[in-house]
Each structure stands twice: as C-alpha cells, then as structure tokens.
C-alpha cells in the first residue's frame, strides 16, 4: 500500500508542474517569424502636379518599404528607392529629379523586415497619371491636325505668346527643337496659329513660349499622308460644294478609284447603280465637320455586279428618315451580286433605318466598321440579311472594332449563317430598343449561327433604349439562333442596369459586371459623351471604344 506521505508528495509535484506552466506569460512564448504581408494601399494613388502621393497601409513589423516606379509596366525601372514611412510623396526631393508631367506611371512595393529573409513579396500598387503642366495651351481637337499642318491654340493671358516650337516625342526635356514658328501680335490676341511643314504619321510635342519662358506643351500626332490629287485614279472634289458632284464623280471614276470629298460639304447619295470598286474619302482640313453623304433612300448595286471593295474613310452618313433610309439596300434576284469588302473607317453614321440591307442573291464577304460612331437607327440595325432559303443573301465575316454604338432600335439581323463575327474595343449604350432583339439570327433550317464563332472582347455594354420613357430598359438579347455558335468573351463589361428578358440570355455574358449604372460610369451617355465619370472603373484603361479610354 502506498503511504500517505507518497500520496502527498505526488499531489505536490503535480500542482507544482501546473503552477510553473501557468506562470509563463504570453511574452515568454516564442513564435516562428514569417514573411511580411505584401503592402497594400490605404487610399488610391493620386497625383498632384508632377508628384505622386502614396499612402500604404502601415505594417508594424516593416522597418522600411522599397518602391519601384516604371513607365512601361516594369519592363524597365525608372526609379528605385527605399523609404522608412508608409505615407510619402514621390518628388524631386525623394528621387533627385522631377517626374514628368502628364505621364502614366506604374508603382510596386516591397515591405522590408529587420532581416531581409522575411521581406514581403512584391505588390503591384497600380497606375497613376501625373497632372498636365499648368498651362494656357489648349488640347488639340480631332480636326486641329492634318498630315502636314496643325492648329495650336491657347487662352491669351499674361505675357504674350511669341513663338511655337515643335519637338520629337522622345525629347522629354524639350531640349532640341525641330522647328520654330513666330507668333504675331494678332495671332496672340486670337490665341491661335497654324503651323505647317510637319511630317505625316509623326508624333510631336508642340510648345508655346513667351520669349524664353515655356508656357506649356501638348502632344500632336499627324495623320497619314493625304491622297495625291494628281494621281489619275483620284477624282478630286475637295474644292467642290455642289451637292450633286458626288453622283457625277462616281460615274467618272475608274474601277478601284478614289473620290475625295470636301470637308463640311453635304453630297447626295447617287440614284445610279454602283458597278465598280471605290474608296470614298474625306479630304483633310482644319474644319470640324466631315464631308457628308446624305441619303433620302439608299444606294443600290447593279444586278450581277462583282465588286472588290467599297471603302468609306472619314465620312459622315446622314439619313433623312430613320424609318426608311440606308447606305446600301441591295436586292438583285436572279443573278448573284457580290461585294467582297464594305468598310467604314473613322466615320459618323446616324439617322438611318440601317447601314446594310441584303435581299435576294446579294452577298457581302467582309463587312467592317472601325473607329466609328453609330447612332439613332431604326429597325433594320447595322445589318440585315433579309431573305430565307438557300443562297439568298448573306454576310460572311463581320468586324466591329474601336467604335461606339448607341440609340439603336435593333443591332443585327440575319436569316443566313454568318461565318465569323468579331466585336473588339467597342462601347454600347441604348443599343437595342426595349424588348427588341440584339443578336437576331432567325434563318430557317438551321441557318441561324455564326459558323466560326462570336468573339466579344474589351467592350462595355450599357442598358437598352427606353424610347417610350416607360422605365423598362430590358432587352431581348439573344432569343433567336446562335444555339450552335461558340461564344468567346474576354474583358467584356456590362453596367448594373443592363438587363435582359428571361430566356434571351447569352451564356457567360458579360464576363465582368460594373457595380454602377450607365450614368455613373459615363459622363453623358444619353447625348453621346462616353468619357468615364467614374475614375475608379477598373476597365478605364483597356475597355470600350479607345476614344473614350483614359490615356
């Protein structure tokens, strides 16, 4: 039998063990040290003048932060420095020289521990653009530059502007002027001078001076070289304001010819049947209005014609009646009529029933809209292939790129298969009337697909067009057809008020959703201003029509 003495000693040892155990404070417990967390921003990166304000979430275990600054997404590093605070300004005092004005910078950060083996991994903090140099010079408008000329404008204030200088786009210090232009007293009072002798397809920095004092600078990019009016293929109407001159020019032009139209003049679309390849181009000029083609009906094509191309460049199309007018309305039963390519580049197209309507043995192989603004359309949309049955009317390949579409009753309609359809870098708002169909592929006997798939990328979609003002902005997105079509969606957004009627959804659309409405995202979407009003939108650098993106 165990004695009471041993029992007492056993209890004593047991109690002593627990007393020692619980007498250890938490400070006596040693934890294994681990890598610091990646830095994160307390507030978004901001710029003030040509400085960048950075406010990182403070890490109590970080002794410093290492910062990389780049202009090319870290292919190269402009500046690398270490700071001992989480809240700092990147300026000349910190990096030894001034940051550039109006320049997009990317930043990344590493939190440093007392022992480098525990430093955090690199965290990319995002991009920020420094502000423009405080200046009286005004930004160029689209019509302030041609291939060899530029209009330079400023708001007259303070000392008189006496000189304009041009610099290479890579001369960031404005050290070596390419050319110089004196400014007269009257030009200074007007706040405007036109400079000449520039090179086509060239990026310039254009600066204004008061004596030796720099007053500001802006970037210009000249256009590609203009059409040679002495070329025998060119019919030059750049000095003609006769509205019927275009009709005569089409008759006179050779197959494959170029017709050059005067800016600011409205020409009538011909009633004669087209039977040749043409390029119709707006002449260069420092005036705001494009050369325009006015439609009171449509342009038709000769029966059985086989045309390689009809290309429109820098033209405005205006319809008299959005219930009945088109650019082309082709119906040539009995003989195949083919246009290999119909393209619109840098055009404004509006107040029409449709751009392209095909019926009865009429075919377009390639249909392209690029760098255009298209709006206020009736119920035949951008294109309509309008006849059922074999070999009736079809478009093979469709490309809509870098363009804006708004206030459309319908988008596209086809009763035949399309071979391919690409939408890239486009902005859509009120692009289908309430309850109308967007992608209406409704051919009989399975002719209602895009054989090689529909691809939508880098684009933004707002809500439907509530013409009646009833408050219903939902659309019939894809009820008919495309059931056998592969659909590829990349970086394609919809606003929170984008809505579709049940049963008309497109699988996987959109690939990303913006949390706000169209009016929160864009400045004035109902009047055609799609500049971003929400600077926090994640797609502001790479989504939608590039003309509206933050640059």
Number of domains the chain contains: 4
- Its domain, for residue 111, covers 46-129
Q: Coil, strand, or helix at residue 235?
A: strand
Which residue stretches of the chain have pLDDT < 70?
1-32, 391
Reported as half-sphere exposure (CB side, CA atoms, 13 A), residue 358 has a value of 26
Q: Same domain for 124 and 181?
A: no
Q: Are residues 474 and 326 in the same domain?
A: no
Final residue of a structural domain among 199, 221, 243: 221
The CATH code of the domain that includes 152 is 2.60.40.10
**Integer CA distances (angstroms), 493 to 410, 527, 536, in order:** 20, 21, 14
What burial letters (b/e) apply to 149-176, b meaning 16+ CB within 10 Å? bbbbbbeeeeeebbbbbbbeeeeeeeee
Please tell me whether residues 250 and 381 are part of one structural domain.
yes
Strand partners, 279: 258, 311
Same-domain check for residues 551 and 447: yes
Rg (CA), the chain: 32
- Considering the domain architecture, whether residues 152 and 189 belong to the same structural domain is answered as yes
Same domain, 426 and 367: no
427 and 481 assigned to the same domain: yes
Does 381 map to a domain?
A: yes
Angle at 549 between CA 148 and CA 531, to 5 degrees: 100
Indicate whether 334 belongs to any domain. Answer: yes
**Which pLDDT belongs to residue 32?**
64
- What is this structure's pTM? 0.79
Say if 299 falls within a structural domain.
Answer: yes
Indicate the residue among 221, 252, 276 that finishes a domain.
Answer: 221
Residue 143 to residues 191, 253, 283, 311: CA-CA distances in angstroms? 17, 28, 12, 21
Say how many residues make up the chain.
551
Q: Which residues contact 343 (CB under 8 A, 6 or more apart)?
A: 309, 310, 311, 312, 366, 367, 368, 369, 370
468 token code pair: 């009646």
Contact 234, 190 (CB under 8 A): no
Look at the alpha carbons of 225, 226, 228, 234 in this order and tell me if their dihedral is positive or negative: positive
Q: Distance from first CA to last CA of the chain, Å, rounded? A: 92
> What pLDDT is recorded for position 102?
87
Point out the domain boundary residue: 200, 221, 242. Answer: 221
Same domain, 272 and 381: yes
């Amino acid at each position: 039998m165990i004695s009471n003495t041993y029992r007492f000693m056993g209890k004593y040892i047991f109690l002593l063990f627990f007393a020692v155990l619980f007498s250890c404070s938490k400070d006596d417990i040693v934890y294994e040290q681990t890598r610091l967390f990646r830095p994160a921003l307390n507030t978004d990166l901001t710029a003030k003048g040509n400085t960048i304000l950075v406010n990182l979430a403070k890490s109590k275990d970080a002794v410093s932060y290492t910062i990389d600054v780049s202009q090319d997404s870290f292919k190269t590093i402009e500046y690398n420095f270490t700071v001992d605070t989480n809240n700092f300004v990147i300026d000349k005092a910190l990096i030894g020289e001034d940051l550039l004005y109006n320049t997009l910078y990317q930043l990344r950060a590493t939190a440093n521990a007392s022992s480098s083996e525990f430093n955090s991994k690199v965290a990319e903090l995002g991009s920020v653009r420094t502000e423009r140099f405080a200046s009286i010079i005004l930004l160029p408008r689209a019509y302030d530059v041609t291939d060899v000329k530029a209009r330079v404008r400023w708001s007259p204030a303070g000392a008189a502007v006496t000189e304009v200088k041009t610099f290479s786009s890579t001369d960031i210090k404005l050290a070596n002027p390419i050319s110089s232009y004196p400014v007269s007293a009257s030009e200074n009072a007007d706040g405007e001078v036109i400079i000449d002798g520039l090179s086509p397809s060239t990026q310039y920095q254009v600066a204004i001076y008061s004596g030796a004092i720099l007053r500001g600078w802006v970037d210009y990019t000249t256009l590609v070289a203009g059409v040679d009016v002495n070329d025998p293929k060119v019919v030059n109407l750049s000095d003609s304001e006769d509205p019927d001159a275009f009709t005569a020019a089409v008759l006179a032009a050779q197959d494959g010819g170029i017709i050059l139209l005067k800016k600011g003049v409205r020409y009538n679309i011909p009633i004669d049947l087209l039977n040749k390849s043409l390029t119709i181009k707006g002449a260069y000029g420092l005036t705001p209005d494009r050369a325009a083609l006015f439609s009171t009906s449509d342009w038709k094509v000769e029966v059985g014609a086989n045309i390689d191309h009809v290309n429109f460049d820098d033209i405005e199309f205006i319809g008299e009646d959005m219930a009945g007018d088109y650019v082309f309305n082709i119906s040539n039963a009995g003989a195949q009529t083919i246009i290999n390519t119909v393209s619109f580049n840098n055009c404004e197209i509006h107040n029409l029933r449709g751009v392209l309507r095909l019926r009865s043995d009429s075919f377009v192989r390639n249909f392209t809209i690029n760098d255009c603004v298209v709006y206020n359309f009736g119920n035949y949309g951008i294109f309509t292939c309008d006849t059922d049955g074999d070999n009736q009317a079809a478009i093979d390949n469709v490309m809509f790129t870098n363009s804006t579409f708004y206030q459309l009753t319908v988008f596209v309609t086809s009763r035949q298969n399309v071979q391919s359809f690409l939408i890239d870098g486009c902005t859509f708002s009120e692009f289908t009337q309430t309850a109308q169909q967007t992608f209406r592929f409704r051919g009989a006997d399975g002719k209602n697909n895009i054989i090689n798939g529909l691809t939508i990328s880098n684009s933004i979609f707002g809500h439907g067009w509530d013409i009646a003002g009833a408050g219903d902005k939902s659309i019939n997105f894809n009820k008919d057809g495309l059931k056998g079509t592969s659909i590829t969606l990349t970086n394609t957004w919809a606003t929170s008020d984008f809505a579709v009627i049940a049963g008309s959804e497109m699988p996987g659309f959109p690939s990303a959703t913006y949390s706000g409405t169209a009016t929160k995202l864009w400045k004035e979407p109902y009047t055609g201003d799609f500049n971003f009003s929400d600077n926090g939108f994640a797609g502001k650098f790479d989504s939608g029509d590039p003309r509206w993106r933050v640059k």
